[in-house]
Every structure is written in C-alpha cells, then in structure tokens.
Amino acid sequence: MRTMIRLMTALLAISTMAAEPAIVPKTVEMTVNAGSFTFTANTTISGSRELGNEATYLANLINKPTGFLLKGLPEIKQHPADVQLEIDSSLAGLGPEAYTLSVTPRSIVLKGASPAGVFRGIQTIRLLLPPQIESRTKVAGIACDVPDVEIKDYPRFAWRGLMLDVSRHFFAKEEVKKLLDAMALQKMSTFHWHLVDDNGWRIEIKKYPKLTQEGAWRKEIGFGLDPKSSTTYGPDGRYGGFYTQDDIREVVAYAAALHITVIPEIEMPGHAGAVLSVYPEFSCEGKKLSTDMGAGVHASVYCAGNDDAFTFVQNVLTEVFALFPGKYVHIGGDEVPKGNWKKCPKCQERIKAEGLKGEHELQSYFIRRIEKFVNANGKTLIGWSEIREGGLAKNAALMDWIGGAVEGASDGHDVVMSPTSHCYLDYAQGKHGEPRSIGGFVPLKKVYDFEPIPAKLKPEFQKHILGAQGNLWTEYIASPGHMEYMAFPRGCAIAEDTWTPAKEKNYEDFRARLANIFAHFDVMGVNYRKLTEEPKPLAGWKSGETKETFAPQTWDISSQIKDAGKYEVAFQYTGGTCRLDIEWATLLVNGKEVARDTHAGQTGASTKNNVYKLKLDAPVAGAKYELQASIRSDGGTDSNGDITVQFVK
C-alpha cells in the first residue's frame, strides 16, 4: 500500500511539472512546477537597503512595458512583500554571484550571496518573463507571468566577458550601453574596453589634450571599407571620435549598476601609433606617425630608453586609474615590433645599463617598470600573451590569445582565456553570405565547445584560470549592427561556457534555448546572426597543395549536385600563414564547363568576396560534376581551408 501511495505521489508530481524554461546560460539546478506568479499593478517588491539598486532595476523592468508604478520598498519582515529580494550569507560558499529563486503563484523569493547574486537572479526572472518585457514603451495586453520554479544557480568562473575594440572604429557611448544590456541579460561580468591602438585614441586625457584633438581622428575610414558603412564623422569630415571623461564615468556607472566590471586597455609599448602621431618625442625616431593606414603605423612603439616616455605613460595611467574603479588595468603588450629598439641608441643603452639580454628582455623591463607603478596605485596589471616575453612581471595577470596560459598559471599567475581558436568573434561564423571578416573561421559550435581549463594544466593550478572572454576586434566592423551580429549568438556561447558546469552543457539544447534569447533581443533591437545549418565541406586545400601563382585546381562535387538551379561555392580559410586568393570558379559537367563566375576573392587574414555563384541549367543523369577554380596562396604555400557547396534554388 505504501509503495502504491509513493508511486501515485510521484506520478502526480510528474504530471504537474511543466517544461523547463529556456534560460541562457543554463542554470545549475532547476525544478519546474505547474502554475505561475503574475505581476500586477498592486505587486509589492521589497529589498534591504543594500539591494536598492536591484529592487529599482526589477521595478523598472516591469513598469516600462506595463505602465505600472511599482517601487522597490524597504524590507518589512512583519508583512512580506509579494517579491522579496534578500541577502543570504549561507550562499557565500558558492561565490558572490550565487542565488536561489523560488517562484510560487503567491510570491517570488530571490536570495543572493551578494547584491551581484540577486542581480543575476533578476536576469533569470527577466528571461522567464515574456520577451515584451524588454520594451521601453507600454505594451497593450502584456501578461507578466513568471513560471513556478525552484532554482539554485552560480557561475563556474568569475570572469565572463566580451572585449570591444573601439580604436579601429569608434562606437558611441549609447551603443556601448546597448551592448552592456545584452551582456547583462546573459549574466556576463566583465567588459574589456580596448580604448587605444594605432588607429585611434578614444579616451580624454586632460594632461595631453592633443591625444583626442588629433589622435582620435583620421582622414578616412580605412581598411578598404565603404565610407558609408559608418557614421562616426566629425563636422570637419574627419573620421573617428572619443569619450570625454564624463562619458567614461557614465558608462562605468551604467555597467556597475549591471554588476559588470569595465577593464580599460591602454596599449603599450607597441600599437602606439595614435600617440606617436601627435607626440613623436616618445618614439625612437622622433618622427611623427600617422593614424591612417600608412606603412609606418604598425611599427609604432614607445622608446624604452626614454624616461620621458615612461613619464607620459604614467601620467596617462594616473587619469585612467581615477576613472575605472576595478582591480585590473590592461596594458596590451602584444605584437611589439623590436626593429626600432634595435636601431635606437637610447634603447641599446638601456639594455646595457640594465644588464638585459636583448630586445625581448627590454620588453619585459618596460612591462615590469609599468607594473610597479600600476601596483603602487592599488591596481593589478593584465596583458596579452606576449607580456611573458623576457619574463612575466611579478604580480601580472595574463590574457591568453596565442598561448602561455599553462605556463603562467603554473607559475602562480591568474589567467583569462581568449584564444583565437575559439574566442575571436571577429572571425567568420559562417561560410555563405557573411560580411567581410578578418579571417579565420569560428562558428557557434566551436565557441560553445570551448573548455576554459587548458587540458595540460595540473589540477592544483586550475584555480588561476579566472574565466574567459570573446574578443571583438573591429578592423572590418564599422557599425553597431555589424558589431552585434558578430557578437551574438557567439557571445551567448561564451556566457554559457563560463557560467554553466561543463557536464551540463549540450549544444543542441543550447541552440533550442537561444530562441528565447533571440526573442528578447528582437524587442531590445539587438542584431544577431540567425541560426543556420552550415553545409559540410565537400573539398578543400592543404598546406603545400597551392602555388604562389594562380593555377587551376579541380575537385569532385558530384555528391552535392542534384537539381537544376543556382549553387553557391564558398572558399573558407581555416589555418596557416598564407591567405588564399581566387581568380575564378567554374562548374564542369563530364569535363565540360557549363557555368563560370569570375571575380577576385580572398580568404585568410581578410576574407571578402569568397563566394562564387554557379548556375546549372539542367542536371545530367550519372554525370560527374566538378568544381574548378584558379587559386593561389599569397606569400608561401602554408594555407588550409574548406570548400562548401550550397544549393540556393
């Protein structure tokens, strides 16, 4: 009898459970029951004094689309509110962003280990609500129902981020805020702001006004882009822009309210073209460089033998420290050209005076000297993989884009993972119909399959992996819509890679849950790449198979040709040191040409016009169909890639 009762109870519980809501990133634990809580004009929301920001955020989230006038009220134990926000110190062992969420038809109780944990829970409520909740104006008939759930959730990693390069192309503060809103929806914690580089200086520095008066602008858009692909032109026609210090404070405060930490990046000692274009006295040559796309810009480097250059950098950082309250300051340190240092008498004297073993140790000297200044101001230095050259500074953290994570973490340094193989969101994410990109191929599944803990890192050092981020360099991304298209949904995959336990991840389930994120994005006006099924490669090329001069190559594509109509052939670089250039492509039927597309295309460091359109008027039974193309690898034969064929109609 007891067994029968237990069985009936279990069956009743199963029958009352609803389908699991689509949350990205996937929660650690979730139980779903029948029923829901409904926000009304009379719903009360309470929170302790330290949760005032969170209570107000939730109230505003409901008020805008409903027209309600809900407010976050002080916590009253005698008469609990309908929606209760609380701090629960027992969750602290799961980290400061841990939270529990209990929803019944009568109440919502959200508890967090800290205000950040409560805020992450509010994002879950946000995704449990209908997508119209994102509307900034009143929506007629909206039903603010939250499913009856029990959730326990916490992140796997603390650093869950995106990086945006605003040097190549400037993005206005409102466009940055919109990106932050999309990041918050997915519980991301870190926004890495790449503020300066060769092609533009974007942050006002009071002591050096020419940095933004001149260094923030250039004559043209550059990078071979259509001038109309961006609107960031000044009244005098110059291309660019910058953030005033008040703009910076506004964005940092906006991010802080979303519990997102902003990490500024001030590049040094290389990528200094924007500085040296207006302050050439800090270069080795003393010669003015240009922020336009001239040949000299990428050779730009501070003179490591000039104490005035260090004084300049320290003065800049002093103003940066005052604007960004976070722990970390990123100093770049990547792709430092050593040629100028080899020819510079001051740099060679520095090497001799400090007992250094050449220019690699001179780079380390530069980083270590700056790190002492950073540490003395209560900050921690972080830089790209190359700051390990010549020896990693004592207290520095490492951002791995081309290696060094295992070595750095094993030596006790904290590491953020952002390898090109999985985390470069400026790389192509599809093979057909994609906008121009810088090269490489990083589709959504590859990002989702990323494991932040390096396989060779011993367990005792894994605590030094802080998390991961997606990097969005913008050489070929000049508009906010294009930026969002490249960021999402791959940024959603980064969010789940860094929040959800590895054992709970499932790509097909993730793809299905993206529909809810996309519905919210649609109302928010966030652009994103739609999910598509990519055709599998039919052929390709490998290192050593191509020549440095154009020559025809032929591939059998019979398995893909079924019907009359138009076919698109895409050449997609996947690796190697050389890009592939394409002159023309033809379709052969039993060795006879039936269609041709002649135009210059390329795929590699820059990918453009890499799709060729071929039309088959009538299929031939039992025929051998071949693709023939005139191709070459540029500057060598180390090039690899895939060829896909897709039937259009």
Run of H or E including 117: helix 115-128
The SS3 call for residue 503 is helix
Residues across the chain: 649
d(Cα 96, Cα 84) in Å, to the nearest integer? 19
* Residue 332 half-sphere exposure toward CB, CA atoms < 13 A: 23
8 Å CB contact between 264 and 201: no
Beta pairing, strands 415-417 & 465-472: parallel
Tokens 């119909």 locate to 433
Q: Which residues contact 566 (CB under 8 A, 6 or more apart)?
A: 613, 614, 615, 616, 647, 648, 649
Beta bridge partner(s), residue 424: 471
Using alpha carbons only, what angle is made at residue 277 by residues 272 and 279, rounded to the nearest 5 degrees?
85
Report which secondary-structure segment, H or E, holds 508. helix 507-524
Q: What sign results for the dihedral spanned by CA atoms 44, 49, 54, 57?
A: positive
Going by C-alpha positions, the residue among 423, 424, 483, 431 that lies closest to residue 607 is 431
Question: Within a 10 A sphere around the Cβ of 393, how many other Cβ atoms?
Answer: 26
Task: Give the dihedral sign, CA 581/586/588/592.
Answer: negative
Cα dist from 339 to 200, 222, 348, whole Å: 23, 25, 12
Q: Where are the alpha helices (DSSP H) in 277-389?
A: 307-323, 339-343, 345-353, 359-376
Distance of CA 133 to the CA centre of its chain: 25
Q: Round to whole Å and give the CA distance between 453 and 459.
A: 9
Ordered DSSP codes for 445-461: HHHHT--SS-TTS-GGG
| Active site residues per annotation | 197, 271, 335
∠ CA 368-369-370, nearest 5°, is: 90
CA distance 607 to 561: 26
Dihedral (Cα; 109, 114, 115, 117), 10-degree rounding: -60
